């Protein structure tokens, strides 16, 4: 699998990144804080394509996260 991997799972941004030791970590957007937190429960979803998942580019991912973080107009 090529890393990083950027996904939208349902409405939640989730990314898989390479760790310093060559492993992998899965981070999911936290609605309450607007930050990313380790969420390995998404590993099988994003690697197997299980459920409603959109695989997006880094740019599309960052734009979506920025929209989520911006205050409602």
Q: Could you report the per-residue pLDDT of 16-63, keeping only the tens digit for each?
A: 999 999 999 999 999 999 999 999 999 999 988 877 899 999 999 999
Q: What pTM value is reported for the model?
A: 0.90
37 with 28: CB under 8 angstroms? yes
**Closest alpha carbon to 58 in 49, 69, 66:** 66
Give the CA diameter of the chain: 42
Domain count, the chain: 1
In this prediction, residue 2 carries a pLDDT of 87
In this prediction, residue 42 carries a pLDDT of 95
In this prediction, residue 49 carries a pLDDT of 80
CA distance 46 to 70: 26
Q: What is the extent of the structural domain holding 33?
A: 5-69
In this prediction, residue 71 carries a pLDDT of 75
**Closest alpha carbon to 24 in 51, 44, 8:** 44
pLDDT at 73 over 60: no
Sign of CA dihedral 31, 10, 48, 15: negative
């Amino acid at each position: 699998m090529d890393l990083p991997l950027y996904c939208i799972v349902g409405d939640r941004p989730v990314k898989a990144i390479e760790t310093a030791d060559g492993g992998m970590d899965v981070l999911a957007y936290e609605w309450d804080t607007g930050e990313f937190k380790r969420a390995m429960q998404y590993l099988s979803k994003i690697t197997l394509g299980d459920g409603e998942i959109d695989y997006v580019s880094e740019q599309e991912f960052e734009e979506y996260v920025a929209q989520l973080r911006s205050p409602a107009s």
